[in-house]
Structure 1
Amino acid sequence: MNLISKSPFFIKLLLIFLLSLVGQSVYSQKSKKSFVPKYKAVFTSPAKLIPTASAPDAPIAGNGDVGIVFGGTPEKQSIYISKNDFWKAKKGYPDGGLSLPGGLNISIPELKGATFYAEQVLANGNINVVFKKKGLTFTLKAFVPSDNNVVIIEMATSGRESCNVTLDIWSQTGFESHNESGEKEGLFYAVRHFDSPDLDWPSHVALAMNVIGATGKSFELNSSSKVTVVVGVSSSLESEDYLNVACYRAQNCTPKIIRKLDDINNLYWKNFWAKSHIEIGDPELEKYYYGSQYLLASSSRNKNFAPAIGGNSITADAIRFWEGDYHTNHSYQASWWGSYSSNHVELTDPYEKPILDYMEKAKGHAKELMKCRGVYYPIGIGPKGFSSSMYPLTEEDMMANYGIKDLNIEGGHMFCGQRSNALFLSVNMFQRFYHTYDKRYVQKVYPFIREVANFWEDYLKYENGQYNNYNDNFWEVGPWTDNWRSDLKSGDINNTSTLGMLRMFCKGIIEMCTFLNVDKDRIGKWKHIQEYLPAVPTVETNGEIRIKAAEKGTGSGSDKRTKPGFGRVMAYSLVFPSDITGVKSTPEFAETLRKEVERWDTNPGGDSGWTNLESGFETYFTTAIRVGYDPEKVLQKLKERINKTALPNFLIAQSGGVTETLGAIPSCINEMLLQSYEGMIRVFPAWPASRDASFEDLRTYGAFLVSSAKKNNEVQYIKITSEKGRTCIVENPWNGKKPIVTEDGKPITPKINGDLISFPTQQEKVYLIKYEK
């Protein structure tokens, strides 16, 4: 068959494809800035940590849906191809989850023993490879263009020697999938299917390969030739005709269109990097700052299928890696915690989709298991309402995985004795609300927020003048923990994590419903809960006030949860990203927590400490900054932590997932340069006095874009662009000197209240603040 001329479907698809090219070009004209980071990840030896469902140590590229990882040796190269929407939707852990479509193998025997060099270029999303051996130099460029699900690989050689290349397009086998492969009109394809009747939905993915500049899968490559390999990628969740769509994408990438796709790719990254940037005089930190943003942008652009904790850089099926799921008690959320302040809000677009898709099931869980209104979320979910955290469905599988036969633990779902997952899922929604005041977004997520409120109105017990929270465990509890049956039956009382999240939530829902002018009759109840929540549990030890995880614990393992120690779970709920503690808004409590941070070197308690390599990287350093810990020490500790587990592709490895650390470095650096969560904009609130720095267009609460520079320990200016026309409040950084404020170059008179400068703003106006010299 002819894939172009004989199908109206493909004619329509071609028109859409061409229109997307025009749209990308128009969009690119919006950028007026030219900043791109100079950094790239360099690899001088083959990857060792692949195949894996966890963090690979190889070059990564992606368009936010399709991702590639370059692995293998010079003579046996492997390009792994993954996709955000390719899941095996089978119930019962670990029988489903995020799965690998397949990849492309490139065999070149003449390169055995060649030197290895590869780079992952942040400026344009390219993977560049150079292999050298005697008279032969082989080069490869690979990229995944924005908004086009094709992988483009350009190969060439130089020198007097030629080489023989053999290509093999393949689909991953196993995990109860079945596969097919074949050839159509010079295209080679491989397909992977999950379609057994016990799945929530069937899932299929096709890879189709087109070779331009050579014939067939095996050919000679010499200095006078250049070969381009195009792999079209399509899934059944994109199109029922997924194989033909993949073939179409590959076949229609002519050299002219490939050049256009290269331009589109470069323009996407140019516009991406133009949204904000920092200069802090520290190349090591800057490369990881931008590297984290690159990796997230490579994986988070499909609005219907968010990157799970495995991202789109898996090189194996996520069988035992929590199914690579959306882990609801922090791992999923943490990916984006640096995106809002970095002015990359667009990367958060996919976030709420799986949460909203699961709402109906979560309502059922609340009603059936908790006898409450509202929503009750398990510890792991997938796309399209899939539950990735169901216990095995048979006694045999339960015995094999957990050594018990009980099929009805917590209704068959892993809630792990925790009630707070929906609270935690609201964190990012509030973050986006505060940073954008986007009414359409708030209208979209508010039904979920209201259902979370419904649950807690029913679940909390108002007794003796306070709202108590019973049987809600601080730590995850299940058949893998000691005394789990008693802990599930009568768990912790007033655990710190939930108390902190409830304070955050009550504040947020009151502001949201006021913003939308809805549910005003319920504000009184939420204010009452907010006011009469128990105090954060503390204990006095050797004359010092220490934080503890719960007011009371039940069962023989409860002592662990009531010992003093300020760890990562408390940091999430008390400081970052919950926003409920700060040196301006709660100075005494912030000082208590600052002292806890000081103990991380000596007497941390719990799982806290700078040296925790398992989890917590996503909050520890930002939390330390927010509670007033020495910023010079934070930078020192941050570098030490990076060096312990950093991979050459800028991933910071820890046990909780591939993507969960991507917000850590941007959020920490941004909070040192600019803060706004305490009701005012503060420039350089925690930047070391001895270091010059500048930033452009970081985003703050109130929907402001802020730029500033600090030189010789003096702030040079503050530039603010108002997106929503809200009142702007700025802390005076000039020690009482009189500020001068202009609006689009025209002087205005601000209100001065102590060290606070405030003034009304208009949408899209630019405000410049300096001081009177």
Structure 2
Amino acid sequence: MNLKRLLFFSSLIISISMQAWTQQAQPLKLWYDRPAANWNEALPIGNGRLAAMIFGGTDRERIQLNEETVWSGEPGNNIIEHVYDSIQQIRQLLFKGKYKEAQDLSNSTFPRQSPKGVNYGMQYQPVGNLTISFPGHDNVSAYTRDLNIADAISTVSYKLNNVSYKREMFASLNSGVIIVRITASKPGSVSFELGINTPQRIHHVAAKDKKLTLTGTSGSSDNKTGRVRFEAIVHPILEGGKLETKDSALIISGANTATLYISIGTNYKNYEDISGNPSAVAARYLSAALQKKYEADKAAHIKLYRKYFDRVSLNLGSTAQAEKPTNTRVAEFSSAPDPQLVSLYFQFGRYLMISGSQPGGQPTNLQGKWNEKLSPPWDSKYTININTEMNYWPAEVTNLSELHEPLFDMIRDLSVTGQESASKMYHARGWNVHHNTDLWRITGPVDGGFYGMWPMGGAWLTQHLWYHYLHTGDKQFLQKVYPILRSCAMFYVDVLQEEPANKWLVVAPSMSPENSYQAGVGISAGTTMDNQLVFDVFSNYIKAAAVLSLDKTFADTVKIKLQRLPPMQVGQYGQLQEWLQDWDKQNDRHRHISHLYGLFPGNQVSPYRSPALFDAARTSLINRGDKSTGWSMGWKVNWWARLQDGNRAYKLIADQLTPAPMEEKGQNGGTYPNLFDAHPPFQIDGNFGCASGIAEMLVQSHDGALHFLPALPDAWPNGTVTGLVTRGGFTIDITWKDHKPAAVKIVSGLGGNCRIRSFDELMLKDGKLKIATGINPNKLMEIADIKEPLVSPKAKSGNIAVKKVIEYDLPTKPGGVYILALAPLQK
């Protein structure tokens, strides 16, 4: 390499490093100049197992506590017996075109209210509230509270009578407890009263042995008795001062510092075993934490947290808005440029995943792990017709692969409990689950014969097993989950029905999640999303069997079934049809746009291989409109990114980063002052969906190539992202200037061919990039082999103009580092 080229690439590497450092130097904090007035202003901390909301009051602090296994009810599935004959009758009615009759039979077979002896899912419930009362601390100055998501520590500070007070709070990833450190600038100034309460009906509070203890039992609902027992222990450690007991409270007076250790245990062992000892669990965590010095535990917690968090940085630039309180920035986002708020929001999504989904624990539910209500919205269950999957969209691409594990563990559980619903309801082999599950891994229908008759939850969940394999290339993992993929495919081999018009094989009965094609009628056969999901279940299984050299006979059976699935269809309005028939309404604004699953998170719609479908998906998305529930807008960010429309994706981010309405219900979306996503009310999926969408705007790898900056909006002319991970195991850093990739760093974790796609010509540090030819041989980046779509004769002809790209093939070695740059313009 000549000296001029060497100096050029050296400067690029320095530029990437400096841009990443600048992002880390920018304060990644949510901060406020007043205490939280309500739960949607409080700040979340968590270590996966435990979670808390910090309100930051001066005269009275409230710390609302959760433990991930405190759910109502007890072990047991929710299968309704003797429904196979009814399911067969519903199929016959659907194929005869008697759709209203089919829906009526579905409704009577699966009533909206759970029938006697059956539950429609349990509730994720709170442990209680720790209260810290500070007498006389009501007229303070210099108040701030913040959540530093770079360190996962929340702080409250203020001044009173020339004394500076500070509280540091974190859910320790190191010791497994929640720690609150209270200090003052003047010795002997720390005085307060500790209390604890709970909304749980069955509970007891005791103050003895210098500890505060809350014991309780979860609630009962839907014919199931609450049997999760929990114990929370609050143990203060003082430096100076004294501690006294008063009824069910602890009084601390005249201390220099006070450190509160909050430990919680339950009797939950797994979804069918609640024989644990909550007192012993809580005591074990507490004892281990007390053996560590505060500063050592804090340092260890930060180190463990940063192991995940520091893998990815995002710098989109900054303005004076970054100096304002977070709630002000959200309120002003639509009128004042604030690219750093987008970076903060992206990283906040990653913070929530690290804080809410740790290996060995439960996956994040509808509210992550943060909930204050005994009866939260939608029970804060696992809604698996979109919401649970959306929670884990950022896992692989934003370099948090290990945090996918709790979801994998739940899928393994469901592949066991789901055998009961498959066999009893459908007389099928394998396993399935419908549109909701809970801590007890229920797999039957929930919420009746309209919303609940969707036997596709397992089909969607298993995609996450496959995504993990495509990003990691981990064949041991694939071997481990292969029986789950095989059993899921087996269920659909058994339940597919031949529809009479075209002799296609379809799922029936089912529905396009939560939507209807006639008033009150959603039950149907062969919905587009179902066809796409079964296509992926079968395709993934066939590829897994080939990789592992297993089950050729059954794989051949699946291949035959695969060929008989319906193609996707373009309807009369030029839209991607939602149903097998052309029933879409142009003015439909429904929050679910489930038939675009094939665009994202699937990879069945490509601008370069299926432009007609690409255009049809875009038409469907335009017809549905932008403003919707928070999670729906989060999904739309990803769709517009896949449609290579960065400005429309950014508009959806801006729509999401508007103040959420105070109403507790509706479909207005938006963001609360604490950056939580609003349906409303709060659902965490929109946070994760937007984080995923921002990553999709910067790099994509679903369509057979790594596409750099596929959907960069005008609002982000310059920036740097580091650490994103793609299919094929490539880790990507990109610095862009004037909307073009100035420098790209590729680290190949697995080796193999790296196909690169770019709107701009690129060059390689160590030689010329080779123009790509043929199909990418990298099996981890295979494209979907879909059927040619059917197009309605009523649809307008013509496709949208697709941006031209240049594709390169870069052979890589495991551990290899490859630097690319924008090629100079030829004179």
Q: Which residue of 2 aligns with 1:404?
A: none
Aligned equivalent of 1:276, options 312, 321, 327: 312
Q: Which residue of 1 aligns with 2:786?
A: none
Q: CA deviation at 1:154?
A: 1.0
Q: CA deviation at 1:335?
A: 0.6
For 2:446 and 2:453, the matched residues in 1 are separated by: 14
CA distance 1:328–1:752, shift in 2 (3 Å) = closer
For 1:436 and 1:453, the matched residues in 2 are separated by: 22
Aligned equivalent of 1:715, options 723, 741, 750: 741
CA contact (8 A) 1:187 1:208 kept: yes
Aligned equivalent of 1:168, options 175, 195, 200: 195
Q: CA deviation at 1:346?
A: 1.6
Q: Which residue of 1 aligns with 2:243?
A: 215
Is residue 142 of structure 2 the alignment partner of residue 128 of structure 1? no
Aligned equivalent of 2:773, options 747, 753, 764: 753
Q: Which residue of 1 aligns with 2:264?
A: 233
Is residue 674 of structure 2 the alignment partner of residue 621 of structure 1? no
Q: Which residue of 2 aligns with 1:369?
A: 425
For 2:581 and 2:649, the matched residues in 1 are separated by: 33
Partner amino acid, structure 1, of 2:754: C
User: What are the residue-to-residue correspondences of 1:190-589 with 2, within 5 Å?
Assistant: 190-194=214-218, 202-213=227-238, 214-216=242-244, 218-219=250-251, 225-237=256-268, 240-250=276-286, 253-254=289-290, 257-281=293-317, 282-317=339-374, 319-386=375-442, 416-462=452-498, 464-476=502-514, 483=520, 491-541=523-573, 545-552=574-581, 568-570=592-594, 572-589=596-613
CA contact (8 A) 2:381 2:437 kept: yes
CA contact (8 A) 2:435 2:445 kept: yes
For 2:542 and 2:681, the matched residues in 1 are separated by: 32
Q: CA deviation at 1:329?
A: 0.9
Q: CA deviation at 1:337?
A: 0.7
User: What are the residue-to-residue correspondences of 1:11-50 with 2, within 5 Å?
Assistant: 36=24, 38-50=27-39
Q: Which residue of 2 aligns with 1:670?
A: 695
For 1:63 and 1:307, the matched residues in 2 are separated by: 12
Aligned equivalent of 2:813, options 744, 748, 762: 762
- DSSP 3-state at the match of 2:603: coil
Partner amino acid, structure 2, of 1:306: P
CA contact (8 A) 1:189 1:209 kept: yes
Q: Which residue of 1 aligns with 2:50?
A: 66
CA distance 1:595–1:173, shift in 2 (3 Å) = closer
For 1:196 and 1:713, the matched residues in 2 are separated by: 56
CA contact (8 A) 2:125 2:373 kept: yes
CA contact (8 A) 1:492 1:552 kept: no
The two structures have a TM-score, normalised by structure 2, of: 0.76
Q: Deviations over 1:77-130 (max 9, x none)?
A: 211111112222347557832221223111123123446531111111111112
For 2:703 and 2:219, the matched residues in 1 are separated by: 51
CA distance 1:762–1:567, shift in 2 (3 Å) = same
Q: Which residue of 1 aligns with 2:671?
A: 646
Q: CA deviation at 1:376?
A: 2.4
Q: CA deviation at 1:342?
A: 0.9
Q: Which residue of 1 aligns with 2:617?
A: 593
For 1:772 and 1:523, the matched residues in 2 are separated by: 46
CA distance 1:110–1:136, shift in 2 (3 Å) = farther
Partner amino acid, structure 2, of 1:683: F
For 2:471 and 2:428, the matched residues in 1 are separated by: 32
Q: Which residue of 1 aligns with 2:93?
A: none
CA contact (8 A) 1:97 1:388 kept: no
Q: Which residue of 2 aligns with 1:18?
A: none
For 2:131 and 2:490, the matched residues in 1 are separated by: 53
Q: CA deviation at 1:623?
A: 0.2
Partner amino acid, structure 1, of 2:635: T
For 2:568 and 2:759, the matched residues in 1 are separated by: 33
Report how many residues are paired: 682
- DSSP 3-state at the match of 1:625: helix
- DSSP 3-state at the match of 1:182: strand
For 2:243 and 2:445, the matched residues in 1 are separated by: 47
- DSSP 3-state at the match of 2:483: helix
Partner amino acid, structure 1, of 2:268: L
For 1:124 and 1:321, the matched residues in 2 are separated by: 31
What is the aligned-residue RMSD (CA, Å)? Answer: 3.3
Of the structure 1 ranges 124-133 and 283-292, higher mean CA displacement relative to structure 2 is found in 124-133
- DSSP 3-state at the match of 1:540: coil
Partner amino acid, structure 1, of 2:213: Y
Q: CA deviation at 1:146?
A: 0.6
Partner amino acid, structure 2, of 1:166: E
For 1:122 and 1:756, the matched residues in 2 are separated by: 38
The two structures have a TM-score, normalised by structure 1, of: 0.80
CA contact (8 A) 2:515 2:590 kept: no
CA distance 1:444–1:387, shift in 2 (3 Å) = same
CA contact (8 A) 1:614 1:656 kept: no
CA distance 1:369–1:564, shift in 2 (3 Å) = same
Which consecutive residues of structure 1, in runs of 5 or more, have no partner in the other structure? 1-31, 51-55, 392-408, 554-558
Which consecutive residues of structure 2, in runs of 5 or more, have no partner in the other structure? 1-19, 77-117, 270-274, 318-338, 660-669, 775-805
- DSSP 3-state at the match of 2:677: coil
For 2:740 and 2:528, the matched residues in 1 are separated by: 39
Q: Deviations over 1:421-449 (max 9, x none)?
A: 22121232222121112122222322222
Partner amino acid, structure 2, of 1:150: V
- DSSP 3-state at the match of 2:612: helix
Q: Which residue of 2 aligns with 1:140?
A: 167
Aligned equivalent of 2:752, options 706, 710, 726: 726
For 2:606 and 2:33, the matched residues in 1 are separated by: 44
User: What is the percent sequence identity of the aligned residues?
Assistant: 17
For 1:482 and 1:587, the matched residues in 2 are separated by: 33
Q: Which residue of 2 aligns with 1:703?
A: 729
- DSSP 3-state at the match of 2:368: coil
For 2:822 and 2:515, the matched residues in 1 are separated by: 56
User: What are the residue-to-residue correspondences of 1:3-18 with 2, within 5 Å?
Assistant: none
CA contact (8 A) 1:309 1:659 kept: yes
Q: Which residue of 1 aligns with 2:4?
A: none
Partner amino acid, structure 1, of 2:641: I
- DSSP 3-state at the match of 2:509: coil
Q: CA deviation at 1:751?
A: 6.2
For 2:443 and 2:555, the matched residues in 1 are separated by: 33
Q: CA deviation at 1:698?
A: 0.8
Q: CA deviation at 1:515?
A: 2.0
